[in-house]
């Protein structure tokens, strides 16, 4: 029997500039994909994976997200919010949410769509005793997402943000210990992928059996609509 998983943090505070040509009146999380706001696809997936509590890091047009989701009770979830008054980057947003974070939790980018089962990722994280365990998957092109080089023991050997040539890519889904926060510079906006992961100890990977779609670009947004049977913008 599957066990309940810990809270998930969704990094949904970005400006969504890549998607602006198609979605300009709302935050990326509320972009309509296959007939409903994208955030609902993520929350339904988390519920299927027995996640019951979610922390949403919001910023740009975040009040629209709060108005739409509320406390999450109508979705069978508990939703809390952490606000960015100015863009903090993915790492800065996580540090901003520190008071809401349990000792261990999941993190996902607000533009990642996947059918990944989260329990094996969580088990791998505990097996490694890692500060962070990244879900990674093979991909023919690592130039648009985070490229990963991983050893046979699961240890991440290098993390190359949006560079060609890597055989694995990050899915933007992580199992994390709260101790990771102490590695995040607090004096400036910063990125998990560029500023924290490349320099940290205790970074491991979990090779996922499924892929993902980054809906944060016009091409990815249209591809996800096709995948889910919706109409394209």
What is the CATH classification number for the domain harbouring 53? Answer: 3.90.550.10
Specify the pLDDT at position 16. 56
Specify the pLDDT at position 220. 85
Residue 14 has pLDDT above 90, yes or no: no
pLDDT tens digits, 108-117: 999 999 999 9
Specify the pLDDT at position 28. 86
Lowest mean pLDDT, pick from 25-34, 54-63, 104-113, 208-217: 25-34
Query: What tokens were used for 103?
Result: 């000792």
In the chain, how many domains are there? Answer: 1
Given a contact cutoff of 8 angstroms between Cβ atoms, the answer to whether 54 and 7 are in contact is yes
Of 127, 126, 93, 120, nearest in space to 136 by CA? 120
Q: Can 78 be counted among the known catalytic residues?
A: no
Helix (H) or strand (E) holding 168: strand 168-177
Domain ranges, residue 191: 8-228
- Residue 13, Cβ density class (10 Å: 0-12 exposed, 13-18 middle, ≥19 buried): buried
Specify the pLDDT at position 47. 96
Residue with tokens 């240890």, as numbered in its chain: 155
User: What angle in degrees, to the nearest 10, is found between the helix axes of 62-69 and 38-48?
Assistant: 50
Residue 146 has pLDDT above 80, yes or no: no
Of 7, 50, 13, 5, nearest in space to 29 by CA? 13
φ and ψ at 131, to 5 degrees? -70, -35
Segment 165-176 shows an average pLDDT of: 88
CA distance to 165, 175, 185, 197, per residue, from 168 (Å): 9, 18, 27, 15
Q: Considering the entire predicted model, what is its pTM? A: 0.91
Specify the pLDDT at position 24. 65
d(CA 179, CA 25) in angstroms, rounded, equals 37
27 found inside a domain: yes
Q: What percentage of residues in the chain have a pLDDT greater than 70?
A: 87
233 found inside a domain: no
Catalytic residue among 36, 61, 123, 162: 162
Higher-confidence residue: 143 or 183? Answer: 183
Of 89, 93, 54, nearest in space to 70 by CA? 54
178 found inside a domain: yes
- Tell me the pLDDT of the chain averaged across its residues: 88
Specify the pLDDT at position 233. 43
2 found inside a domain: no
Residues, the chain, total? Answer: 233
What residues form DSSP beta bridges with 12? 58
206-215: b or e for each residue (b if 16 or more CB lie within 10 Å)?
Answer: bebeeebbbb
> What are the helix (H) ranges across 34-98?
38-48, 62-69, 89-96
φ and ψ at 66, to 5 degrees? -60, -45
149 found inside a domain: yes
Residue 139 has pLDDT above 90, yes or no: no
């Amino acid at each position: 029997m599957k066990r309940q998983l810990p809270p998930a943090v969704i990094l949904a505070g970005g400006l969504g500039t890549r998607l602006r040509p198609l979605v300009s009146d709302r935050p990326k999380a509320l972009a309509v994909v296959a007939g409903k706001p994208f955030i609902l696809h993520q929350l339904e997936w988390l519920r299927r994976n027995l996640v019951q509590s979610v922390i949403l890091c919001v910023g740009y047009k975040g009040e629209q997200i709060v108005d739409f989701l509320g406390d999450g009770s109508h979705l069978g979830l508990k939703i809390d919010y952490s606000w960015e008054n100015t863009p903090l980057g993915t790492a800065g947003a996580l540090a901003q949410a520190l008071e809401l974070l349990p000792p261990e939790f999941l993190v996902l980018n607000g533009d990642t769509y996947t059918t990944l089962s989260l329990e094996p990722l969580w088990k791998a994280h505990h097996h490694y005793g890692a500060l962070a365990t990244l879900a990674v998957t093979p991909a023919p092109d690592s130039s648009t997402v985070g490229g990963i080089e991983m050893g046979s023991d699961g240890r991440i050997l290098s993390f190359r943000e949006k560079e060609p040539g890597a055989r694995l890519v990050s899915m933007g889904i992580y199992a994390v210990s709260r101790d990771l926060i102490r590695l995040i510079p607090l004096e400036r906006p910063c990125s998990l992928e560029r500023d924290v992961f490349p320099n940290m100890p205790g970074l491991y990977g979990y090779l996922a059996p499924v892929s993902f779609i980054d809906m944060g670009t016009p091409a990815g947004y249209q591809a996800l609509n096709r995948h889910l049977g919706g109409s394209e913008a």
